[in-house]
Each structure stands twice: as C-alpha cells, then as structure tokens.
C-alpha cells in the first residue's frame, strides 16, 4: 500500500510539475523583465542627474567673472570625482548600510552591501552617487571666486563621504526621521538644503569678495561674465531634473507616479521663473533674466520633496512661492553682507526648506503621504514632522560644516591671497586662463 501511494504521489507530482512549470517560468520571466526595465529607467535617470554637473558648472561659470571661470569649472569637475570615491568608500555604507537610527556601519567599499530597492546594487549606487555629487557641487557657487582649490577638494570629499550620507540615512536609509514619517521624495532637504546651508556657513566663514560691500553696508554689483553660459546651465539643470525627481520612483510601475512627478516638476519650475521675474521687475524696475533663471531653479528645488505627494495645482503654488522667496533671499543676504555670488543659498537652502514644509501643507495621504497635509484636513501633524526634520538637518549641517571649514582654515587655509583674488583664481590657482588674452587684473 505504501509503495502504491508513493508511486501515485510521484505520478501526480510529475503531472503537476508539467502543468505548473510553464506558469512558474512565465512568472520568473515577467519578474526579470520588470527588474530589467526598472534598472534601465534608474540608470537613465542617473545619467541625467550626472549631466546636471555640467549644468551647475555652466550656471556658476556664467554668474562669476571671467578670471575665475577655469577655477569654478575645475571644482565642478573634481566634485563628482571626489564624491564618487567618498561615496563608494564610506558614504554608501553610512547611508544605506545596516546600523542604527543615526547611521549605517556595514558595506564599506560596497563589500557585503545590499541595494536599497529591487534593482541591482550597482545601479542603485550610481543613482545615489549622482545625488551625492549634486549636493557637494552646490557649495562651489556660494563660495566662488575666493576659496582655495586644495581646501575645496578636502571639503568635497568629506561632505560626500560623511555629512551628506548621515542626513541621507536619517531620511532614506531607515533612520530616525524616516521612522517619524518625515517625507522628502527626491531631496529638497537631503540634497539641496544640505548643500545650500553648507554654502551659507562656508561663505560666512570665508567672508565676502574684495569690493563687494562698502563701509556704509551697501552692496556693489559684481556682474557675471556670461549670461548665455548661465542660461545654457539652467536649461541643462531643468532637463536633468526630469531624472532627479521622476527617477526617484526607482521603478516604472504603470507610469502614473512618474507622470505625476514629471508634470509637477515642470509646472513648479515654470511658475518659479515667472514669479521671480515679476517680483524683481516690481522691486527694481527691470525683468532680470538672471533672477528669472534662479527662480526656475528655486521652483525645481522646492518641488523636489513634495513632487510625488501633491496635485499639479499645488505644484504651481509651490513654484510661485519659490520664485518670490529666491528674490527676497538675495536681497536679505546682501543686507546681511553675506556674499553668495550665484544665489546658492536662496535657491537651494531657503527653497529646500520651503519645499520640505510644503509637503505638510499640500501633501495628500492618498498619494502616499503618512498624513494629509494642512489644506486637506490633516492639521499640523505632517507640518510638525517636516519642521522637526528641517530644524534637525539645518542645525546639524551648520554645526558640522562650520566646524569643518574652521578646521580647514586653521590647517591648509580656506581663502586665497589678496593678490590671487585680484588677478583671478585661474592664474593664481591653476596657472591658466579660460579666455586667453582677456585676463582682467581688477575686482570689476
């Protein structure tokens, strides 16, 4: 009897295998295809975010003087080099490794590391490394035209290896802010506020450029040398942001989430540019293109956190406020005699905060948020969580980066000499000119 049951069981098992195998094989193929498509999508997004380095370089080069163009482009170029190594050796382990609520501590050099999503580890790492490089390069513009190149390289490696990954772990790596349901979909706080407030404390420690402020406190206009270059940079950044925000979905799905994120990204940028232009036109009598471009960037920064959680009408409102904030921020910095040559602090710092808080105002639980925003009857719960996160991150960055810049200043020095600043950092730091035969040996 036992023998018959065994043979019968084997026969039935064989029949089941014949019937089930095609279904299991089809399911396996479908899963592999889905992962493949998602991987391709994230890699394409990573390439777009990487291309944003060129956008940052063009914007910053256009907004500063010709004699410092080679220097700022070299910093942008080396930023991604330093970020790639720092994030590979230390940063990924701190940000996504197993650890505690404060930091991860496994996966150094990616040994034994795991992907933070369903896509392969190396694809996920590349996407995150591109974000890390973006955060680091923001500071170059805020501290432009007077910071030592050696000091900048030191800063760039350390923020990429330690400072940025710590904040990233709190929000995206399972840290304490993520457990509180702090929401930052693509990095208004994690990327832009970190870079913006690092630029703020850096430029305060570094002090203004020669000739920027008068003894009576008034500011002198130090115009950038190429609006066309800056315009090209803004278009590149706007284009790259379609990888930055939609790519943060980390999967294609049915396309609905990617589509919502993309349209919100575009609407916020457009409205930010219009409102910044209108604001500066009203205040100073002229529709300043440079301010309109920074307004578009401000809208992009502001929508980065809430882009997945809000409706398109809300994206328009968020971008509109961002355009106004960037103009008022530039005016405020000049009154405080904080010299930010390209507007890095108003664009990335102030609007990084605004975008993060906007999640708690305009966000919807039905779109993936933990709690409805203030305008949808959720009260102050999500606003309070977002505010706590902003305070914690900004406070940490100001203290950590302020200490770092002070240490760099006390050791290798943070600022070039007066002579080098007057001649230009292209000559003083690199021994070359961006525009041969057109070197200007003044502060104008």
The pLDDT tens digits for 1-54 are 334 445 455 444 555 454 555 656 666 666 668 899 999 999 999 999 999 999
Give the model confidence (pLDDT) of 384-394 as tens digits: 999 999 999 99
**Dist CA 53 CA 80 (whole Å):** 8
> Quick one: pLDDT at residue 436?
82
CA distance 240 to 235: 8
- C-alpha distances in Å from residue 83, one per residue of 156, 161, 167, 203: 7, 7, 15, 21
Does the structure show a pLDDT above 50 at 169? yes
What global pTM score does this model have?
0.92
Which residue from 146, 205, 208 is spatially nearest to 335, judged by alpha carbons? Answer: 208
Sign of CA dihedral 313, 197, 397, 243: positive
Main-chain dihedrals φ then ψ at residue 184, nearest 5 degrees = -145, 90
The pLDDT score that the predictor gives to residue 24 is 61
Alpha carbon distance 107, 97 (integer Å) = 6
Q: What is the pLDDT of residues 317-329, one digit of tens each?
A: 999 999 999 999 9
Whether the Cβ atoms of residue 276 and residue 294 lie closer than 8 Å to each other = yes
Burial class (CB in 10 A: 0-12, 13-18, 19+), 246: buried
- Specify whether the CB–CB gap between 195 and 136 falls below 8 A: yes
DSSP state of 379: T
- CA end-to-end distance (rounded Å), the chain: 102
Which pLDDT value is given to residue 439?
Answer: 53
Q: Please tell me whether residue 254 adopts helix, strand or coil conformation.
A: coil
């Amino acid at each position: 009897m036992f023998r018959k049951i065994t043979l019968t069981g084997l026969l039935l098992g064989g029949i089941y295998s014949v019937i089930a195998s095609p279904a299991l094989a089809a399911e396996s193929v479908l899963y592999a295809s889905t992962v493949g498509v998602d991987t391709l999508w994230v890699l394409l997004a990573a390439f777009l975010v990487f291309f944003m380095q060129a956008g940052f370089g063009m914007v910053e080069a256009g907004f500063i003087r010709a004699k410092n163009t080679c220097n700022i482009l070299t910093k942008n170029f080396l930023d991604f080099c330093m970020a790639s190594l720092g994030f590979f050796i230390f940063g990924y382990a701190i940000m996504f490794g197993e650890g505690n609520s404060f930091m991860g501590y496994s996966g150094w050099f990616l040994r034994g590391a795991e992907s933070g999503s369903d896509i392969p580890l190396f694809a996920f790492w590349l996407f995150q490394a591109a974000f890390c490089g973006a955060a680091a390069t923001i500071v170059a513009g805020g501290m432009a035209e007077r910071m030592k190149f050696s000091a900048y390289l030191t800063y760039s490696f350390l923020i990429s290896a330690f400072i940025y990954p710590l904040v990233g772990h709190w929000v995206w790596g399972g840290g304490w802010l993520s457990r509180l349901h702090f929401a930052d979909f693509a990095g208004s706080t994690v990327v832009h506020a970190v870079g913006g407030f690092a630029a703020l404390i850096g430029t305060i420690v570094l002090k203004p450029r020669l000739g920027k402020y008068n003894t009576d406190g008034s500011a002198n206009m130090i115009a950038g040398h190429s609006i066309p270059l800056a315009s090209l940079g803004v278009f590149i950044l706007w284009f790259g942001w379609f990888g930055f925000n939609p790519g943060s979905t980390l999967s294609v799905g049915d396309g609905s989430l990617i589509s919502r994120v993309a349209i919100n990204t575009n609407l916020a940028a457009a409205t930010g540019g219009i409102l910044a232009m209108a604001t500066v036109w009203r205040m100073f009598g002229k529709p300043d293109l440079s301010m309109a471009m920074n307004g578009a960037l401000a809208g992009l920064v502001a929508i980065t956190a809430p882009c997945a959680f809000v409706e398109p009408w809300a994206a328009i409102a968020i971008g509109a406020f961002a355009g106004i904030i960037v103009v008022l921020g530039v005016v405020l910095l000049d009154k405080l005699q904080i010299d930010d040559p390209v507007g890095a602090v108003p664009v990335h710092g102030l609007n990084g905060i605004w975008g993060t808080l906007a999640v708690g105002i305009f966000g919807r639980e039905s779109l993936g948020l933990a709690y409805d925003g203030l305008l949808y009857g959720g009260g102050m719960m999500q606003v309070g969580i977002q505010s706590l996160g902003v305070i914690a991150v900004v406070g940490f960055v100001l203290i950590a980066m302020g200490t770092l810049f002070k240490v760099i200043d006390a050791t290798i020095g943070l600022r070039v000499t007066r002579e080098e600043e007057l001649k230009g950092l292209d000559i003083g730091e690199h021994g070359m000119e961006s525009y041969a035969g057109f070197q200007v040996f003044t502060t104008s």
